[in-house]
């Protein structure tokens, strides 16, 4: 009666990986229970998630061929575009399909953009590529595109490209406050990404020590036309989630990332923590802090627990 917040399957978005050129789903060692799906196993998994009441999935592609420009990301027959078509054919408007919009899974060097002569991401050249990817994803049937590369001006550039191509109804979920955290490690295993030369993303992702800068990024993305904004990772940044919810009038999403999930599994595998209890406490805390939408690898487990 006096409980102030509660989880519901409606709050959850399941992140899913789909890999080109494999016959069987490939387990991801550092993400227990998660796999790189084939197109067929993705369809099966998503049907089960829809039956559990989960309203949305976010898709990440693992292409067979990577190159410096990440060109497979914008190929109309690229793995994510094909998977979007499959899922929209299966579920129509009963499922919100979100596509991660970035090139790091597709570039041979692992950065979120094309590189300049100094080997650093070239912001503006990358925006043009993001525009092409956005249109390819929209043509495939994506309901929401989610730019995650943290290039300056990406939301405005993508909005412009989508509108120009007649996709005014496709929404943008901006990874607005995405921190240069140490918690993305298992994800990079999941998408076979190693950043060239032992590099990192500190040149474009947020400094983990900063809150005001994150608020600035969030406000800028809303001003550029983001329909929803995201804070990522989630648990170390509950302060940012709470502040964003208080100050902004768009839906606030939080991404409970791979490292946050893997830690709980590792401790539970050692018998040190109780998996379900901690999963509910962690994801519940993200809701309590103010997130309207929670992307989490625990989506299925939580929805099952709520049935
Ligand atoms: C970039 C992207 C990343 C994640 C989502 N989109 C990785 C990165 O910035 O290195 C991480 C998600 C996770 O750790 O679960 N396309």
Q: Is 271 exposed, middle or buried (0-12, 13-18, 19+ CB in 10 A)?
A: exposed
- Ligand 1 first shell, C-beta below 6 A: 100, 102, 104, 148, 184, 187-188, 201, 257-258
Q: Does the pLDDT at position 200 exceed 90?
A: no
Distances (CA, A) of 303 to 8, 107, 292, 299, 300: 7, 34, 16, 6, 5
Ligand 1, atom 10, residue with closest C-alpha? 184
Cα of 105 to ligand 1 centre, how many Å?
9
- Give the position, in ligand 1's atom list, of the atom nearest the Cα of 193: 10
Ligand 1, atom 1, residue with closest C-alpha? 148
Query: Does residue 59 lie in a domain region?
Result: yes
Active-site residue flag, 232: yes
Ligand 1, atom 2, residue with closest C-alpha? 148
Domain range enclosing 157:
9-305
Query: Does residue 2 lie in a domain region?
Result: no
Query: Does residue 4 lie in a domain region?
Result: no
**How many domains are contained in the chain?**
1
What is the model's pLDDT at position 28? 97
Query: Does residue 3 lie in a domain region?
Result: no
- Give the position, in ligand 1's atom list, of the atom nearest the Cα of 103: 16
Instruction: Give the model confidence (pLDDT) of 40-58 as tens digits.
Output: 999 999 999 999 999 999 9
User: What is this structure's pTM?
Assistant: 0.97
CA atoms of 139 and 135, how far apart (whole Å): 6
Instruction: Give the model confidence (pLDDT) of 223-260 as tens digits.
Output: 999 999 999 999 999 999 999 999 999 999 999 999 99
Q: Strand pairing of 26-27 and 35-37? A: antiparallel
Ligand 1, atom 7, residue with closest C-alpha? 184
Residues listed for the chain: 307
Cα of 35 to ligand 1 centre, how many Å?
16
Cα of 295 to ligand 1 centre, how many Å?
12
Band (203; pLDDT cuts 50, 70, 90): confident
Band (292; pLDDT cuts 50, 70, 90): very high
Instruction: Give the model confidence (pLDDT) of 134-183 as tens digits.
Output: 999 999 999 999 999 999 999 999 999 999 999 999 999 999 999 999 99
Query: Does residue 60 lie in a domain region?
Result: yes
Mutation pick for ligand 1 pocket among 126, 148, 253, 286 (CB with most ligand atoms within 8 Å): 148
Q: CA nearest 122: which of 17, 130, 71?
A: 130
Query: Does residue 211 lie in a domain region?
Result: yes
- Give the position, in ligand 1's atom list, of the atom nearest the Cα of 258: 15
Query: Does residue 280 lie in a domain region?
Result: yes
Cα of 133 to ligand 1 centre, how many Å?
17
What is the model's pLDDT at position 192? 87
Q: Average pLDDT over the chain, rounded to whole?
A: 97
Cis peptide before 233 (omega within 30 of 0): yes
Single out the catalytic residue among 66, 88, 178, 287.
178
Residue 252 maps to which CATH number?
A: 3.20.20.70
């Amino acid at each position: 009666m006096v409980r102030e917040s509660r989880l519901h399957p409606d709050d959850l978005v399941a992140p899913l990986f789909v890999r080109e050129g494999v016959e069987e789903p490939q387990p991801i060692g550092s993400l227990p229970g998660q796999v790189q799906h084939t197109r067929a196993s993705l369809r099966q998994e998503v049907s089960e998630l829809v039956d559990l009441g989960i309203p949305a999935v976010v898709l990440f592609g693992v292409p067979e061929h990577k190159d410096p420009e990440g060109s497979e990301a914008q190929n109309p027959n690229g793995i994510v575009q094909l998977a979007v078509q499959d899922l929209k054919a299966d579920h129509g408007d009963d499922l919100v399909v979100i596509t991660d919009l970035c090139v790091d899974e597709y570039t041979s060097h692992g950065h979120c953009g094309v590189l300049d002569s100094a080997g650093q991401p070239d912001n503006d050249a990358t925006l043009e590529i993001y525009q092409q990817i956005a249109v390819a994803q929209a043509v495939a049937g994506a309901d929401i595109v989610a730019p995650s590369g943290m290039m300056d001006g990406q939301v405005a550039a993508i909005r412009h490209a989508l509108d120009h191509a007649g996709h005014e109804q496709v929404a943008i979920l901006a990874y607005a406050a995405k921190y240069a955290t140490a918690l993305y490690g298992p994800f990079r295993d999941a998408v076979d990404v190693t950043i060239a030369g032992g590099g990192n993303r500190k040149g474009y992702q947020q400094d983990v020590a900063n809150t005001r800068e994150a608020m600035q990024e969030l406000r800028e993305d809303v001003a550029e036309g983001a329909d929803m904004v995201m804070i990522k990772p989630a648990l170390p940044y509950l302060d940012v989630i709470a502040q964003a919810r208080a100050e902004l009038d768009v839906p606030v999403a939080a991404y409970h990332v791979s490292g946050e999930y893997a830690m709980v599994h590792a401790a539970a595998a050692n018998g040190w923590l109780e998996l379900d209890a901690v999963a509910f406490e962690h994801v519940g805390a993200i809701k309590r802090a103010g997130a309207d939408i929670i992307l989490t690898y625990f989506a299925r487990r939580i929805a099952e627990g709520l049935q």
